[in-house]
Amino acid sequence: MDGNWIIWVPALLACGSLAGFLGGLLGVGGGIVIVPVLYHLYSLSGLPLDMTMPLAVGTSLAAIVMISAISARAHYLRGSVDRDVLRLWTPAGLVGVLIGTWLGGAVMSGMVLKIVFGAVLIVVALHMLVTARSKPVVSDGLPGQRSQQGLSFGVGGLASMLGIGGGTLSVPILNLFSYPIHRAVGTSAAFGLFISVPAAVGYVVAGWGVDGLPTYSSGYLNWFSLVLLVPTSMLFVPLGARLCHRLAVARLRQAFAVFILLVGLEMAFL
């Protein structure tokens, strides 16, 4: 990254702003924006693929800790965090985090991690496009406790493995069970906080002692990137959360879905 300050600084500031705003507005994990940006920046700096992806994921998870904390607080103050769901989902979600972090940080190659990330983005984008106007419903209420724990396990595993935050997956899941959208966004932000903290620590441990990491890195967490991402994301999360309660966001969701569909295709196949 040395010598590329004129690209890095504005790119990361803009990335943090967009990630924070979308996290508050749509409930999507900030990593859906942060990971692709960091991956491309690290690649432009000449880092190998087996380093760029876990470094992007680990740094994204550390940023999501702050984004989720601010977003969860903003939604909690509006009464949009379901503490009963949170208590039920968190233990199984943490077990998923342990497995997902181990797979993403120590087992998968950078290429496999990149393809899986792209594939998940494609699925998320297609779901957003399909549900922008019509809302498919599985049932009129949440399933039983064991089913919910299974879902939270899967969300925790995928979110920690890919650095995308829990909201990207948990909001659509909750919506399938006729869960109110504002409470889904708020509860997912809080759930994302609980799973992103241990996941970020896991990527630090997984990358500890790896040779060739860029300056200011602790394992697979780059502090230079994090310091630029977090302040702007923290500024824009409350704005997104306020607009979430005021705007009909269907068209914005469609536009964002097209964007992440293109990003997912590029990550998965190029």
What's the pTM?
0.91
> Residue 217: what are its φ and ψ, rounded to 5°?
-110, 140
For residue 215, what are the CA distances in angstroms to 1, 44, 199, 200? 8, 15, 22, 18
Q: Are 259 and 42 in contact (CB under 8 A)?
A: no
How far apart, in whole angstroms, are the C-alpha atoms of residue 124 and residue 215?
Answer: 33
Cβ(57)–Cβ(225) below 8 Å: no
Vertex 243: Cα angle to 142 and 79 (nearest 5): 45
Angle subtended at Cα 195 by Cα 36 and Cα 140, rounded to the nearest 5 degrees: 95
Q: What are the mean pLDDT values of the chain's consecutive 10-residue runs (270 residues total)? A: 73 89 72 91 91 96 85 81 94 96 94 95 88 78 93 94 85 87 84 92 94 93 93 82 68 79 90
> Which of the 8 DSSP states describes residue 144?
-
Torsion of CA 90, 94, 97, 102, to 10 degrees: 180
Residue 5 CB neighbour total at 10 angstroms: 9
